[in-house]
Structure 1
Amino acid sequence: MPYYKSIRSPIQSKQRPELFYCALIFVVAVFISFILLDLIYPFPESVISGDPWWKHNHRITIVTVINNVNDIDIAMVDTEKEVNNNNISTSIRNKKNYSEKYGYKFVIKGIEDWDREPSWANIPALLKTMNEYPNSDWLWWIDSNLFISNPSISLTSTILHDITLSPEYDNKEIIIGNDCFGINTASFLIHNSHWSRKFLKTVYNPRLFKDFKYEETVMQALIDFEDIEVGSRILFVPLRTLNSLPLNSSCGNDYRYKWHKGDFVVNLAGCEVQKDCENRFKEVMDCLK
């Protein structure tokens, strides 16, 4: 049986390197085009890290609001600097460190509508962040006066673990806790979905604003009176899962609400009124050592 040897013609031999260089030039041209498009038509960027659009694949985005929108520029550059006051700068640093530990996105927004109580600022902040980071599955809203007191707790391995694995939770869009007055919106998780956007826009409706002073009152009313479908979309968890209250809160010393060492988050709201912010901060910081 004859042995046939493949022989490449001189023309074919010359074409191989030419094709290689053409392919290489094409790949480089595509890469440069992506860079130029990002410079000319940039996608939304995080106010903290300024990551380009191709890095916007964080599954969880943490969102908070500070009163003075001008302080955001300071927070972007150096969280060690004073931001409005030491409490806020410590709060920002606390959340930023936590987000970096687990690879979450951290976004700071400012209050835009001063005709409403500051608590309403979470609604437009969440809606904007949902649009800016469409690849984020869940957003964690957390007030600026809440601190992560146990950073060893990961959202994905604890709170969201059952949500992602169990079919019975497939339709849950909001994870929130109740205190002695009803739902507490100082800290909650919300799914980045069409339903959630529609719900937030309903809550922010100016007609409802005329009748209700606070956004959590509107949410509670929608859950209780509007439609059973709203309540079915919300997963209620023990308050201390996401938001433990201080000892001298309006709910008193009820163990279901008050902060214990080892809890995930502590709520320091009202310490300015009680004039004991320094003591509360010290207690939290001691737990983080």
Structure 2
Amino acid sequence: MLVRSLRVPPSLLLFLAFCAFLGWHFGQAPLHESFNPAPPPPAPAPEAPPEKKSPRIALVTFVTDQRSYLHLALKSKDHYARRHGLDFLVDYEAHSERGTVYWKYDMMERLIKKNKWDWLWWLDFDTLVTNTDIKVADIIEETLANATNPDEIDYLLTHDCNGLNFGSFIVRGHERSIKFLHDAYAIADREKEKDNQMSEQDVIVKLMKDDPASAHRTIQVPQWKLNAFPQEIACFDDSRKAWEHGTFVIHFAGAWAHVKGDDPTGQLMRKYEPEIIWGDWKEFYNA
């Protein structure tokens, strides 16, 4: 049987080739996409650490009569408080039945009950802040960092050559601190009934000796760091370190027993006034 050969028109061949190309192209598209995936979404930015909150601190003192150094003693404390955003609280009367020196405890109790401050820093009036660059908040933080249980510490205290010195101390603004004071009041009242009038420092010493739980809530700060004495009043703690230029605070405790003259404390105040590092008042005084 004779088979006639077939002739395919060129246009058909071209059409078939075009279809084959389209089929190949679309067949390859998924492969191209698999090798070029869409970029992943950017990772979320890390959250910024919470801003460290500064503790609320009040600087506290009282003065009940005229002094030759009244202006300077007030100025150094007020200037410091303004520079570092502390509240500066002064009483000009004292009405404690236990004696004038106990008024500092009465003030502390009254201020703690206001629940406005994390810490209260007491300074006797015969003191000067001699380096206003230093932050008392840093002293608190550094001291608590060395405590085994920092949240249980309520009193930061200093010593001199005679033991505890309450010319400069720091109290936590917590109701536990009030209990500590009430326990001290109880000792003072019991001793007074025995005709033994104890100082505000002595009752705290006795409290810490008789009650280990109360002592556990205190921590000692080096004297030079918070309550330095000048060379003229050489009654230092175990560090044996006297005040020197750049030290935070100078305390003229018992100047009358160490310096001759009609106004021993005033004389020392005026002597050390030029050593004060004030800082630039324009940066904060009108803030």
One fold, TM greater than 0.5?
A: yes
Cα deviation, 1:44-89, whole Å, max 9, x if unaligned, reads: xxxxxxxxxxxxx970011101114xxxxxxxxxxxxxxx233122
In the alignment, is the contact (CA less than 8 A) between 1:99 and 1:106 conserved in 2?
Answer: yes
Note if 1:219 corresponds to 2:204: yes
In the alignment, is the contact (CA less than 8 A) between 2:126 and 2:265 conserved in 1?
Answer: no
Note if 1:121 corresponds to 2:103: yes
In structure 2, give the amino acid aligned to 1:227: D
Q: Which residue of 2 aligns with 1:259?
A: 243
In structure 2, give the amino acid aligned to 1:218: V
In structure 1, give the amino acid aligned to 2:61: T
Q: Which residue of 1 aligns with 2:164?
A: 183
Q: Which has the higher Rg, Structure 1 or Structure 2?
A: 2
Structure 1: tracts of 5 or more residues without a match: 1-56, 69-83
Change (3 A) 1:222 1:254: closer
- In structure 1, C-alpha distance between the alignment counterparts of 2:157 and 2:238, rounded to whole Å: 18
- In structure 1, C-alpha distance between the alignment counterparts of 2:148 and 2:233, rounded to whole Å: 37
Q: Which residue of 1 aligns with 2:74?
A: 92
The alpha carbon displacement at 1:270 in A equals 3.3
- In structure 1, C-alpha distance between the alignment counterparts of 2:223 and 2:236, rounded to whole Å: 14
- In structure 2, C-alpha distance between the alignment counterparts of 1:270 and 1:97, rounded to whole Å: 25
In the alignment, is the contact (CA less than 8 A) between 1:247 and 1:258 conserved in 2?
Answer: yes
Give the 5 Å matches for 1:165-204: 168-204=149-185
Note if 1:155 corresponds to 2:136: yes
- In structure 2, C-alpha distance between the alignment counterparts of 1:119 and 1:109, rounded to whole Å: 13
Note if 1:140 corresponds to 2:121: yes
The alpha carbon displacement at 1:166 in A equals 7.2
Q: Which residue of 2 aligns with 1:109?
A: 91
Change (3 A) 1:66 1:166: same
Change (3 A) 1:138 1:118: same
- In structure 2, C-alpha distance between the alignment counterparts of 1:278 and 1:112, rounded to whole Å: 22
In structure 2, give the amino acid aligned to 1:60: I
Percent of matched pairs sharing the same residue: 23
In the alignment, is the contact (CA less than 8 A) between 2:55 and 2:137 conserved in 1?
Answer: no
The alpha carbon displacement at 1:279 in A equals 4.0
Question: Using CA pairs below 8 Å that are at least 6 residues apart, which structure has the higher relative contact order?
Answer: 2
In the alignment, is the contact (CA less than 8 A) between 2:155 and 2:218 conserved in 1?
Answer: yes
In structure 1, give the amino acid aligned to 2:169: F
- In structure 2, C-alpha distance between the alignment counterparts of 1:95 and 1:256, rounded to whole Å: 26
Give the 5 Å matches for 1:9-48: none
Where 1:156 maps in the other structure, the secondary structure is helix
Where 1:160 maps in the other structure, the secondary structure is helix
In the alignment, is the contact (CA less than 8 A) between 2:113 and 2:175 conserved in 1?
Answer: no
Count matched residues. 216
Give the 5 Å matches for 1:264-283: 264-271=248-255, 274=259, 275=261, 276-283=264-271
Structure 2: tracts of 5 or more residues without a match: 1-53, 278-287
